[in-house]
Chains A and B, each alone.
Chain A
Amino acid sequence: GENVEQHPSTLSVQEGDSAVIKCTYSDSASNYFPWYKQELGKRPQLIIDIRSNVGEKKDQRIAVTLNKTAKHFSLHITETQPEDSAVYFCAATPRGKLIFGQGTELSVKP
């Protein structure tokens, strides 16, 4: 069935280091891949997204890459800062539905 696997479940980095979160999806019909950030006690908010006709998208310190052949996509955060600490969710859209990954709790230590 439709499934999105997200790894790792927790990630701890030092301030200034890079962080990478990976997701794989099962349905090759997926064509839209958003990433949401949820800070502690707050609502999830869209931070970046990518469509299947693009291999990479960048917005300041965050970037997303997509490998359609392998059916996986990744979020890259460079020069991490303490305010990047949050839970990050990836999602895919098989046949119009939005399926979320299990979430990654990122902790950036000063």
Chain B
Amino acid sequence: DVKVTQSSRYLVKRTGEKVFLECVQDMDHENMFWYRQDPGLGLRLIYFSYDVKMKEKGDIPEGYSVSREKKERFSLILESASTNQTSMYLCASSPGQTQETQYFGPGTRLLVL
């Protein structure tokens, strides 16, 4: 069974803070993703990585950065958190050369005050 874990289920941060969200997968998947989930907007891709130290911007990368130093770990960084970044953040991973069949983590609900 594929297991994708995220470091926190709930986070409360203040405007301007630097925020780190961590994701770990245990299936040696090449691809990892960070999504943001908001009601009525579905799952929007922030960044993805197809290999260690490789990353590509998704649809809404502004205000975010990522880091992938090890294959199993993909971090999402909010350099200076803002209230409009209050959301549910979902990490996912998938094997192979395409983005098919993604396995999701449980999500981190972030509240920025």
Query: Restricting to B90-113, which residues have a CB under 8 Å from any CB of A?
Result: 90, 97-102, 104-107
- In the complex, what residues of A have CB within 8 A of residue B107's CB? 43
Count of A-B contacts judged by CB separation below 8 Å: 44
Q: Is the CB of A34 within 8 A of B101?
A: yes
Q: Is the CB of A49 within 8 A of B106?
A: no
Q: Is the CB of B43 within 8 A of A93?
A: no
In the bound assembly, the distance between CA atoms of A97 and B31 in angstroms comes to 11
Most chain-B CB neighbours within 10 Å: which of A97, A98, A103? A98
How many residues in A have their beta carbons less than 8 Å from beta carbons of B? 20
Looking at the complex, which one of B43, B97, B99, B101 makes contact with A89 (CB distance below 8 Å)? B43
Q: Is the CB of B40 within 8 A of A102?
A: yes
B12 at the interface (CB under 8 A from A): no
A85 at the interface (CB under 8 A from B): no
- In the complex, what residues of A have CB within 8 A of residue B40's CB? 9, 102-103
**Known contacts A43-B106, A44-B90; is-contact A100 B42 (Cβ 8 Å):** yes
Q: Is the CB of B100 within 8 A of A93?
A: yes
In the bound assembly, the distance between CA atoms of A100 and B42 in angstroms comes to 7
| Chain B: minimal CB distance from A98 (Å) | 4
Q: Is the CB of B42 within 8 A of A98?
A: no
Identify the A interface with B (CB < 8 A): 6, 9, 32, 34, 36, 42-46, 49, 89, 93, 96-98, 100-103
